[in-house]
Amino acid sequence: MTIAVTAKETLLGAGVTIATTAVCFAFFVAVQVLSYWIPPDRAAAHLRQAFVDGDLQLANSLPHDAVKGYHQRNDCLVFWMTIIRPEEIGEYLSAGQFVGDPSGRTTYCEVMRDHLLDDRLGTEDYGNYLRYLHGYRAVTVFALSVLDVPGMRLLYKGLCYALLLTSCLLALRRLAPGRGPSDEMAQLRASGGVALTVAFALFYGLPYFGQSPSHAPLAWTIFAFLIFATGRDLLAMGRVAYYAALSAFGAFVAFFEYLTGGAVIGLAMLLGLLALQGERHTAPGPYVRRSVLGVFAYLGGIVLAFLFNLALNFWHFGNDALIRFARALITRMGTTTVTRTDGVVDGGQAKISGLDVAEALVAKLDFLAGGNPVLAQLVFVACGFAIVGFAVVGLIHARSATSVVRVALVVASVAMVLLWYAAFKNHSLIHAAFMVRVLVWIPAAALLMAVLAFEHLWGERPAPAAPRRPLAARRRA
């Protein structure tokens, strides 16, 4: 049994990942440039009307608003980027962010409203960390040129639930007697697909973020991969196709990543879904190799897409682009945050502990349970115990080393979520209202672990070997 990843496999994976990400990035650039050919007039008119009708408010956030959505601050950033028109070709390949002025206007929505009313749709100053090729902007340009803001929100949220419904229906079809594949592992993948669909539908905060132009496109990418990965055996895919699929997934995640946690959700989903792959008696080696190389391809797609972005920015803006990006990343990964007095930044610094991050996330758990904080805390505590309990059951009743590897992959997927919060303490604390959505993987992992545990308990067991006849009987025969 060979478990080690060979140099040949690594080089092949690297080559396919680089080529696939480059093709995806070229597509992103083409879409970005094409989106600038769409006149901003209709989008601007729809945004003005949204302020008049109250569909856009001036506040940065609207807690538990299932119609307008919670995250108006980032939504207004995306809306603003749909109506600016850069003057130089280099700026067509990046995304602009307007900055507030000292006139007392305190929210991005308020600044955008005033610019819209003054009919000023030109370029503005660039911000710190939005100066790169931006998928949210490109998608919203097309949507807002056709639909008004309420219609766009309905489309975005509808696509989220439509993809989840499609995932669930396809999985249920494969589970139906006589309709799906006959092998038990295909049934296991279908069960996992149903489990993950339920988890994302209930605990991903879609009522408050599914309509958001700064959140929904990333959810579409994740749900599309869920449909893809539960409908086939990833271990049976050809190596080139496997690397290409995962690096393309990573590149699209990077295109829509607003540092809202989509990258780590995709990574956790990849590890969790790999636990459902293979055949009944697949050896541990393929699981380990495909897991290592799959993570390599997925993260490679994300990193390369960001590096291509930075290269474009360096070409146009010079060293300042790299310096601003590095400063923003260091801040987000830092262990300190600014202190405030009566809600106003006073210039001080406060240390951030893991407990601070946990408390901030717990305070926002209600976004994942329909606004009910008690229900949310009960569900997530129960899911934590369920992960441990079903993992123990799965290990006790494991029938082979492969069964142990499958359990370990789900455990590793949970560890990725915890490592993400540890790595981005500052960002997770100050943006807990949407960073809490990463915790959707806790109930998802609990359901996956339950599927594996039940399969270990009641799944088909290998037939016992036929008893050997005594040596004397064999000689007489």
Q: What is the pTM of this model?
A: 0.86
Instruction: Round to whole Å and give the CA distance between 112 and 116.
Output: 6
Buried b (16+ CB within 10 A) or exposed e, 449-458: bbbbbbbbee
For residue 2, the model assigns a pLDDT of 54
Average confidence score pLDDT of the chain: 81
For residue 436, the model assigns a pLDDT of 92
DSSP conformational letter for 304:
H
Reduced to 3 states (helix: H, G, I; strand: E, B; else coil), residue 366 is: helix
For residue 177, the model assigns a pLDDT of 60
Over pLDDT 90: what percentage of the chain?
35
**251 exposed, middle or buried (CB, 10 Å; 0-12, 13-18, 19+)?**
buried
CA 397 to chain centroid, in Å, comes to 32
Instruction: Round to whole Å and give the CA distance between 125 and 39.
Output: 21
Q: Select from 113, 145, 178 the least CA-distant residue to 41.
A: 145
Instruction: Round to whole Å and give the CA distance between 205 and 210.
Output: 7
Instruction: Round to whole Å and give the CA distance between 434 and 300.
Output: 25
For residue 29, the model assigns a pLDDT of 87
Q: With 50 as the cut, is the pLDDT of residue 98 above it?
A: no
pLDDT tens per residue, range 261-308: 899 999 999 999 988 886 666 677 778 888 889 999 999 999 999 888
Neighbours of 314 (CB within 10 A): 14
User: Per the structure block, which two tokens stand in for 290?
Assistant: 């495909």
Q: Which of 327-336, 341-350, 353-362 has the highest mean pLDDT?
A: 353-362
User: Per the structure block, which two tokens stand in for 391?
Assistant: 């993992």
The set of residues, in sequence order, having a beta carbon less than 8 Å from that of 302 and lying 6+ positions away, is: 250, 251, 253, 254, 257, 263
Instruction: Round to whole Å and give the CA distance between 112 and 98.
Output: 8
For residue 136, the model assigns a pLDDT of 87
pLDDT tens per residue, range 383-411: 999 999 989 988 887 777 888 888 999 99
CB distance 259 to 427 below 8 Å: yes
CA atoms within 13 A on the CB side of 87: 5
Mean pLDDT across the stretch 24-30?
A: 91
Q: Select from 453, 443, 445 the least CA-distant residue to 379.
A: 443
Reduced to 3 states (helix: H, G, I; strand: E, B; else coil), residue 341 is: strand
CB distance 12 to 240 below 8 Å: yes
